[in-house]
């Protein structure tokens, strides 16, 4: 095999993304699978001594190269998707799935890990290596290694079919978004939209060789239309298109209905094969939460605390829309528009005004300053090859001036890029006899592009999203664990993985931080204190409704996966209706097809795990309260929460420790006690009953 294939580059170097072609993917993956298969067979040899250096390390040396190459292929498929790249990725998906299933069912390798656990040498291993072995044994069991005969063969089939269905779900969502557009020829219909959104729409139409303005369903276009377009019929048309993405109401070949049914059926079957009564029960084996019942009780308790606030939120919004906007009835496509008008009036600012102060370069500079103050590391731009001109590469540099990791940031929405924001890893930290392998992390967002020679402008919500994703990135970049098997993304319980990300969001509400993040796009002036005070006053605007929305999604997720068998699409939609009747105050139209675009559940690993956002928010709010308690008085007499001492403790006990111990132990090590929901309720403004 040619060594010129960039996917086969040495794992201790950076990949040349600019050199990767779709034709490189399949040969590299096939070669690496076979190389890793040989390594598995070698490590499974019972003649080997029951020692870490004989069984685990050699396998990690080889398998790390495979999973790095496959991660890169998946990343490119998500951020620069083309028909050729998709075909190459899909050609390899069944090969990788089959191989992963084969490893998980490998009784010989399972026996070796059992030998390691039972050996006298086990007690002499580091706590990290002991945990790697213990987690491996658990994961072998959850991968069906103890199944036999027909059940074993069927488990392998189910695994492959799930991978294929999830990938197709994701493709249908991407294609539905990319293929929908609305050309506007009457500029009056765009009244109310920010000038940069109108200009972006004009350029998009021009690039298609058409006059007028092109509107699309990607967030930098869709959200401003829903917030600002005065034309209710335009909002309605966009709302309906977005609400029916990848459903039976669009192109038949992009309808995710059958895939939802297939995935729920396969997940229930997988759980049954492994001896669990539901997919939720299976997934909770590796979580902080102990049972579906506990999760449901947690969500319903949170809904009960938030509902009175949500009812008040909606009543006030309806009254405002009636009195100020002449809306006798608030339609679903009016909610965001009316909310923005109400927020502008109540707090005397608009998102358009605020985002003039948040230019991408200044926000990144301020963000990097926060990271340096809290955790003692710097991010330095480097000249690494990237997959698209939008992407930037940064080295993570320690106080000793050593490079401890690499962060790639890709911030703008574009054709062929999955919507949303996420973080993933190319490779994780590993310390072995070969030396130190540093982590390489991707941070992806979908913000508006720069225009007219000016830097990109971020809304305050965009800034919060960037801080959130940076928290995930820091979890991997600042890890000090030596073994990939207990790295943060591999071993931290799913319902705790959002702790660092949600924790970082809180700093977006601190005056010293926000002032440092801001520089007006035209004048360079920082955010005025008066405008910050308005932002802060509006922080919990509609917090009740927002909380119930998250609870609604999480309850729906848990209930459709807390079943002994799959559900029809009709039953799925009925479950969603039942959840809304229980906890919601807002009810979309009957034709709304939210599940069909719920990629978190059906293509993003959050199946039976969406509750994690609220569960981890309890942890993150309580963790942030430690910074509030230790805040020092700043130069202006206001509390400065960028406390380096507390930051170093957070680094030591949460970020650096990764998955080397249970997340509950890490939280207690940082906070000195079990988590409390009080800080979450206080931060969300859900502490006292709203006045009538």
Average pLDDT over residues 141-156: 97
DSSP β-ladder status, 403-412 and 440-447: parallel
Task: Give the per-residue pLDDT at 689.
Answer: 62
Q: Does domain 6-146 have CATH number 3.30.300.180?
A: no
**Position of tokens 């009835």?**
329
The closest alpha carbon to 367, from 379, 351, 352, belongs to 379
For 629-656, write each residue's pLDDT tens digit: 999 887 777 788 999 999 999 999 999 9
Q: How confident is the model at residue 353 (pLDDT cuts 50, 70, 90)?
A: very high
Contact 502, 468 (CB under 8 A): yes
* 166 exposure class (CB count in 10 Å sphere: 0-12, 13-18, 19+): buried
Q: What percent of the chain is modeled with pLDDT above 90?
A: 97
Dihedral pair phi/psi, residue 623, rounded to 5°: -65, -40
C-alpha neighbours within 13 Å on the C-beta side of residue 386: 21
- Decide if pLDDT at 586 tops 50: yes
- Decide if pLDDT at 588 tops 60: yes
- Decide if pLDDT at 30 tops 80: yes
d(CA 85, CA 69): 14
d(CA 44, CA 545): 54
CB atoms within 10 A of CB 116: 24
DSSP string across 109-169: HHHHHHHHHHSGGGGGS-HHHHHHHHHHHHHHHHTTTT--HHHHHHHHHHHHHHHHHHHHH
DSSP string across 540-594: TTTHHHHHHHHHHHHHHHHHHHSSSS---HHHHHHHHHHHHHHH-S----TT--G
Q: What percent of the chain is modeled with pLDDT above 70?
A: 99
- Token reading at 295: 């999760």
The closest alpha carbon to 431, from 17, 44, 30, 57, belongs to 57
* 329 exposure class (CB count in 10 Å sphere: 0-12, 13-18, 19+): exposed
Contact 660, 127 (CB under 8 A): yes
Average pLDDT over residues 577-604: 97
Name the average pLDDT for the chain. Answer: 96
Task: Give the per-residue pLDDT at 692.
Answer: 45
Q: What residues does each domain of the chain span?
A: 6-146, 180-244, 360-539+630-660
Q: At what angle do helices 543-561 and 292-325 cross, to 10 degrees?
A: 140
- Give the pTM: 0.95
**Architecture (CATH level 2) of domain 360-539+630-660:** Orthogonal Bundle (1.10)
CB atoms within 10 A of CB 190: 22
Catalytic residues: 469
Between the alpha carbon of residue 458 and those of residues 413, 468, 685, the distances in Å are 13, 14, 25
DSSP string across 355-417: HTT-BHHHHHHHHHHHHHHHHS-EEEEE----SSTT-EEEEEE-TTS-EEEEEEEEEE--TTS
Task: Give the per-residue pLDDT at 1.
Answer: 44
């Amino acid at each position: 095999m040619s060594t010129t294939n960039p996917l086969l580059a040495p794992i201790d170097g950076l990949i040349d993304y600019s050199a990767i072609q779709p034709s490189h993917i399949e040969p590299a993956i096939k070669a690496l699978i076979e190389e890793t298969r040989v390594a598995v067979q070698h490590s499974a040899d019972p003649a080997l001594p029951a020692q870490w250096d004989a069984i685990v390390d050699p396998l990690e040396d080889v398998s790390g190269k495979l999973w790095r190459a496959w991660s890169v292929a998946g990343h490119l498929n998500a951020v620069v998707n083309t028909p050729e790249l998709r075909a190459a990725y899909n050609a390899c998906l069944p090969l990788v799935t089959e191989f992963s299933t084969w490893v998980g069912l490998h009784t010989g390798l399972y026996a070796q890990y059992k030998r390691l656990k039972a050996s006298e040498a086990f007690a002499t291993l580091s706590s990290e290596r002991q945990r790697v072995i213990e987690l491996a044994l658990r994961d072998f069991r959850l991968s069906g290694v103890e199944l036999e005969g027909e059940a074993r063969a069927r488990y392998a089939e189910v695994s492959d079919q799930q991978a294929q269905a999830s990938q197709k779900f994701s493709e249908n969502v991407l294609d539905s978004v990319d293929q929908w557009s609305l050309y506007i020829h009457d500029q009056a219909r765009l009244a109310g939209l920010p000038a940069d959104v109108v200009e972006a729409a004009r350029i998009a139409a021009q690039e298609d060789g058409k006059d007028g303005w092109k509107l699309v369903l990607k967030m930098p276009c869709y959200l401003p239309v829903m917030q600002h377009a005065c034309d209710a019929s335009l909002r309605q048309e966009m709302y309906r298109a977005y609400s029916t993405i990848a459903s039976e109401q669009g192109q038949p070949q992009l309808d995710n209905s059958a895939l939802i049914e297939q995935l729920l059926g396969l997940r229930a079957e997988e759980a049954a094969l492994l001896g669990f009564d539901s997919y939720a029960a299976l997934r909770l084996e590796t979580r902080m939460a102990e049972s579906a019942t506990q999760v449901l009780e947690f969500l319903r308790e949170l809904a009960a605390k938030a509902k009175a606030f949500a009812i008040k939120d909606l009543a006030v919004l309806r009254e405002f829309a009636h009195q100020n906007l002449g809306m006798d009835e608030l339609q679903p496509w009016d909610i965001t528009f009316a909310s923005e008008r109400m927020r502008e009036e109540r707090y005397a600012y608009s998102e358009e005004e605020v985002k003039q102060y948040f230019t991408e370069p200044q926000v990144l500079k301020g963000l990097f300053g926060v990271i340096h103050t809290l955790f003692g590391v710097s991010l330095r731009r480097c000249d690494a090859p990237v997959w698209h001109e939008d992407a930037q590469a940064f080295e993570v540099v320690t106080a000793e001036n050593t490079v401890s990791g690499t962060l790639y940031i890709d911030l703008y929405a574009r054709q062929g890029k999955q919507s949303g924001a996420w973080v993933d890893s190319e490779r994780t930290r590993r310390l072995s006899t070969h030396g130190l392998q540093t982590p390489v992390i991707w941070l992806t967002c979908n913000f508006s592009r720069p225009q007219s020679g000016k830097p990109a402008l971020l809304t305050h919500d965009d800034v919060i999203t960037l801080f959130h994703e940076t928290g995930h990135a820091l979890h991997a970049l600042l890890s000090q664990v030596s073994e990939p098997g207990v790295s943060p993304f591999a071993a931290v319980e799913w319902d705790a993985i959002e702790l660092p990300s949600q924790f970082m969001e809180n700093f977006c509400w601190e005056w010293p931080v926000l002032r440092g993040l801001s520089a007006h796009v035209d004048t360079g002036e920082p955010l005025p204190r008066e405008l910050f005070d308005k932002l802060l006053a509006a922080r919990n605007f509609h917090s009740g409704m927002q909380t119930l929305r998250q609870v609604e999604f999480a309850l729906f997720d848990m209930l459709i996966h807390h079943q002994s068998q799959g559900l029809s699409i009709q039953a799925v939609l009925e479950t969603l209706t039942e959840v809304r009747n229980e906890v919601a105050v807002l009810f979309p139209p009957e034709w709304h097809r939210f599940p069909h675009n719920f990629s978190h559940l059906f293509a993003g690993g959050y199946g039976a795990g969406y509750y994690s956002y609220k569960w981890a928010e309890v942890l993150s709010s309580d963790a942030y309260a430690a910074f509030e308690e230790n805040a020092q008085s700043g130069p202006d007499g206001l509390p400065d929460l960028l406390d380096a001492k507390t930051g170093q403790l957070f680094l030591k006990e949460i970020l650096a420790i990764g998955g080397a111990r249970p997340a509950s132990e890490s939280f207690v090590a940082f906070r000195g006690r079990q988590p409390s929901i009080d800080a979450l309720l206080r931060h969300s403004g859900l502490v006292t009953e709203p006045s009538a």
